Structure 1
Amino acid sequence: MQISLDSPPSAPQPANAYYSQVARVELDGGGVMLYLSGQVADGDTLAEQSRGVFETIDALLKAHGATLADVINIRTYLTDIGRLHEYGAVRREFLTGTAPTSMTSEVSRLFKPEALVEVEVVAAVSPR
């Protein structure tokens, strides 16, 4: 097993923080696990922020040879759980196949004061 940490230049870079956006775990059998840090995005509405988050996640996955179809787990943090349906509608635009395992939680705030949503994912990529 080999582990590498990365913030690929093809994706938006972390703002005002020191962390890696992707932990890539190369498994002995040839598969790869990708653990993405929580992502937030700019935008005036929850839908705009959600789209930005999934666009960033998509870019991070592509930088490591994966797609949104490889996502097996998703964790979502919303500042208002009553707006879950708004986020869910955007999520379904991006995750169109079999639904991954999921956790959604309401939080009082996120590290970026204007952020309404933060999403982190785990993806599993089979050997090709």
Structure 2
Amino acid sequence: MQASALKSPPHMPAAHPNEFDLRRIERALQDRVRYRYVTPAIIGIDGGYRIQAPCCSRNVDPEGGIVDVALMLFDGLHGEWRLFAKDHDRQSWELHSTYSRLTELLDGLNTDPDRAFWQ
């Protein structure tokens, strides 16, 4: 499934990105299990947030450049968060999981048992 910006109804302002949740995400990522020695960047985008970080493992970028880690979009119609992982070979975002709360999404992103995000 390709990630696309989910739009709010025309009469409602977009809830994301916002400064409050941006700071919550920054704080939560300090508790991640993998690649604790890199400083990720959280970028507000239409409908959510994108996380990028230096590729210290050189698994994705042999030069060690900045790579996409995760995409988090809020679907206001269904009231759920969608977490996408980057398929670096195809250069596309793939739906990984959905959550009813941002904190649940961040818990999954921080543990990342399948190394879908912190590669």
TM-score, scaled relative to structure 1? 0.28
Q: TM-score, normalised by structure 2?
A: 0.29
Greater relative CO (CA pairs within 8 A, separation 6+): 1
Please state which structure has a larger fraction of its residues in helix: 1
